Amino acid sequence: MLQNVPFFPSMGAQAVKKYFTPKWEEFSSHRDLEDVLEASLASVIRASALQMKVLGEFRTRIQEQRRLSAAASESDKEHKQALEGLQAALDSARMAYEQLEVDLKESDSNVLNLTKLLDNANAAQKVASEALEAANIEKRCLLDEVQCLRGNLDSSENSNKEAESNVARLLREKGRRRRWRKDWGTRRPSWRMQRQSLWRISTIPRPTPIFQITLTGLDSRRF
Q: pLDDT for 3-59, tens place per residue?
A: 444 444 444 445 555 555 545 455 455 556 677 777 878 888 888 888 888 888 888
- 180 located within any domain: no
- 174-182: long-range contacts (C-beta < 8 A, 24 or more apart)? 174/222
| Cβ partners under 8 Å of residue 153, min gap 6 | 210
| Cβ partners under 8 Å of residue 210, min gap 6 | 152, 153, 156
How many domains is the chain built from? Answer: 1
Q: pLDDT for 44-57, tens place per residue?
A: 888 888 888 888 88
- 78 located within any domain: yes
Listing DSSP states for 160-190 in one string gives: HHHHHHHHHHHHHHHHHHHS--TTTTTPPPP
Q: What is the pLDDT of residue 177?
A: 58
pTM: 0.34
Q: pLDDT for 148-186, tens place per residue?
A: 888 888 888 888 788 888 888 877 776 665 554 544 444
Containing structural domain, residue 77: 2-88
CA separation for the pair 21, 145 (Å, rounded):
154
- 174 located within any domain: no
- 65 located within any domain: yes
- 23 located within any domain: yes
- 204 located within any domain: no
